[in-house]
Amino acid sequence: MTLHAITVLGHDRPGIIAGTTARLAGLGLNLEDSSMTLLRGHFAMTLVCSGAADEAAIATALAPLGEDGTLTVTVREVPAEQPATSDGSPWVLTVHGGDRTGIVSTVVGEVASAGGNITDLTTRLAGDLYLLVAELDLPAGTDVDVLQASIGQVAADLGVVATLRPAEADDL
Amino acid sequence: MSDDRVTAWSEDELGVSGRVLPVVRAPEPVLATVGEDVDPTSTETVQLAADLVATMRVSPGCVGLAAPQVGVSARVFCVDVSQHPKARTHHGTFVLCNAEVVESSRNEKAREGCMSVPDLTGDVKRASRLVVRGQLPGTGESVTVTTDAFEARALQHEIDHCSGLLFLDRVAGAHAVYARTTYL
């Protein structure tokens, strides 16, 4: 039993997910985690599936998807990763403001410097408005006030607004 | 009046000792099954009510537990949000049978977790002003609970369990579900 990471990128149309997953099911593969969205209108999907089929068999089965040249499919075997657990705390970082180069790299650079790990990230450009929303884990002992100040400083230098707030879920 | 009665209620009224039961996890089918109406005065319901409270008490961070979460497909749940920092109005510990939402308004979105879905959390929109009607176990009295904020969210979460619904059935979107990395 092996794990494969598959990406499908390209021109969006109805039926891409249905076509992809039907071919994977035909190989007896089990879809585990997947994520799909539209990025500037481009179809973008990444999925991890498990099963006995090898990389070549999967690539062959998915090849028809890319035949018209509008979709690019990649297949790569990946090792099993242990689910991340942390003694830290989850946070949501939101950054928005006028579009310019370097917003993401500068702000997330501060997160990385603090040892923070980004676990989910979305950025959107809507007209002149640039938006970043990230989920991050901060290690235990992080001085959040210091991190907030440093993010606030680089955000101010970029002319954008950044907020960092706890993302702890309420257990019910 | 009903609110005062609910606040005054405690599991001591049940007159039986609660047992700590194992909490089942999705995809256990009972969690996706609509619970049966119960007779709030029956010995089974009284014991179930006591068991739910006992199980809630020993579970870290637990502010509510519904019968399907202990494997019983019945419309019974307990809540106690009195120690939670997000609670405003609260009625202490109570158990309701056959509860239903009578009025709801002012939706707010917040992130929820659940003992029966331990590895995921999700953003769920719920009413922050709520009126719920149900029956107290033991006496079977009909009561109406008027509440807000966190207790309102907890009640809706538990009533959903009794209807075979998880927070996963109500998440705000495809990217509103998160893998949990920290556990209580």
pTM of the entire predicted model: 0.81
Residue B165 CB burial class (10 angstroms; 0-12, 13-18, ≥19):
middle
pLDDT in tens, A52-107: 999 999 999 999 999 999 999 999 999 999 876 778 899 999 898 889 999 999 99
- State what percent of residues in chain A have pLDDT above 70: 99
- Say which residue the tokens 């009665």 belong to: B5
Give yes or no for residue A137 having a pLDDT over 70. Answer: yes
The reply to whether B143 touches chain A by the CB within 8 Å rule is no
End-to-end CA distance of chain A: 37
Q: How far A16 CA sits from the closest chain B CA (Å)? A: 17
Per domain, the residue ranges of chain A are 2-78, 89-166
Query: What ipTM score was computed for the predicted complex, to two decimals?
Result: 0.72
Burial per residue of A25-46, b for 16 or more beta-carbon CB atoms within 10 angstroms, e otherwise: eebebeeeeeeeeeeeeebebe
B135 vs A90 pLDDT, higher one: B135
Return phi, psi of residue B81, to 5°. -105, 10
Select from A89, A169, A172 the Cβ nearest to the Cβ of B64.
Answer: A172
Give yes or no for residue B124 having a pLDDT over 70. Answer: yes
pLDDT in tens, B149-179: 999 999 999 999 999 999 988 988 878 888 8
- Say which residue the tokens 């014991």 belong to: B47
What domain range is B97 assigned to? 2-179
Give yes or no for residue B1 having a pLDDT over 70. Answer: no
What is the third-level CATH fold of A89-166? Alpha-Beta Plaits (3.30.70)
Q: Is B184 contained in some domain?
A: no
The reply to whether B86 touches chain A by the CB within 8 Å rule is yes
Give yes or no for residue A43 having a pLDDT over 70. Answer: yes
What is the third-level CATH fold of A2-78? Alpha-Beta Plaits (3.30.70)
Judging contacts by C-beta atoms under 8 Å, the chain B residues touching residue A119 are 178-179, 181
